[in-house]
Amino acid sequence: MNVATGRSGLRHDVVKLGEVELELFEGGSGQPLLFLHGGNGPRPDAPFLASLCEEFRVIAPTHPGFGASSLPFWLDSIDDFAHIHLELINRLGLSDVVLVGHSIGGWTAAELATKTTSSIDRVVLIAPVGIKVGPVDRLDIPDIFAMPQQELQRLLYVEPEKWQLDPAKLSDQELLAIARNRQTLALITWEPYMHNPKLKHRLHRVDRPTLLVRGALDGLVSHEYAAAYAGLIPGARLETVAAAAHSPHLEQPERFVEIVRRFAGR
């Protein structure tokens, strides 16, 4: 494990898990909170992570194939991600974990929780994907690979211009990471698109308190989809965040952190 401190104040590690070199950001102390990022990649400088560090020991790994994490040739599914993060929990000796995942990270968290919850205290799924609930001839999640980036940004954020990156201001390393993130996202979500056909039949196994969080203006995950997701997990409930779209933790960080704090019994 190599340790450094990034601009965010979070420690930056690289953990070797079998054939995978997993990038890891960590900070704070207290009850462990494992945050699994969405398809745009890790955001270690995001304010919500710094706020969560005030009350939790935050562990934010980068999925294989994203950021600086390696991607072995055999690793090609969200189910693989779930196994990697389970191994990380065991390697770090974590227990009583607040498991939080966004979008494909929420899908990963859901897959993980259907396998075992022995180390999990509760689960927070932010705009999760991963199930199929609508007709077979219609996508539940819009095809993000078939639309212009500007159109996608309007589905992801209430104020898309605020979150639009200027390629001219990015380093070669940052541009490479963005391209790599998108390539890996396509690899793991394309076929079948944005879901595991078996997951909805396994969600009844999640036996920890579960909260789904959705931005009221989310253009990717509809209210009906999120409600159906919650309905498949025993006792789960759905909370909506106003003035937010697909990333309420980024767009409304104070509100999101308060939701997590309250749900965790702080």
Q: Region 165-177: what's the mean pLDDT?
A: 90
**What span, in angstroms and rounded, lies between the C-alpha atoms of 50 and 84?**
24
Instruction: Report which of 232, 252, 231 is spatially closest to residue 240, judged by C-alpha positions.
Output: 252
pLDDT at 185 over 80: yes
Q: What is the mean pLDDT of the chain?
A: 95
pLDDT at 8 over 80: no
User: What is the domain range of residue 142?
Assistant: 2-263
Neighbour count for residue 9 (Cβ, 10 Å): 14
Instruction: Report which of 139, 109, 135, 122 is spatially closest to residue 222, judged by C-alpha positions.
Output: 139
Question: Residue 164's pLDDT is what?
Answer: 87
Q: What percent of the chain has pLDDT over 70?
A: 97
- Domain CATH code at residue 162: 3.40.50.1820
Q: What is the pLDDT of residues 147-168, one digit of tens each?
A: 999 999 999 999 999 998 888 9
Question: Residue 167's pLDDT is what?
Answer: 87
**What span, in angstroms and rounded, lies between the C-alpha atoms of 140 and 143?**
9
If one counts the domains in the chain, the total is: 1
For tokens 């390629």, the residue is 167
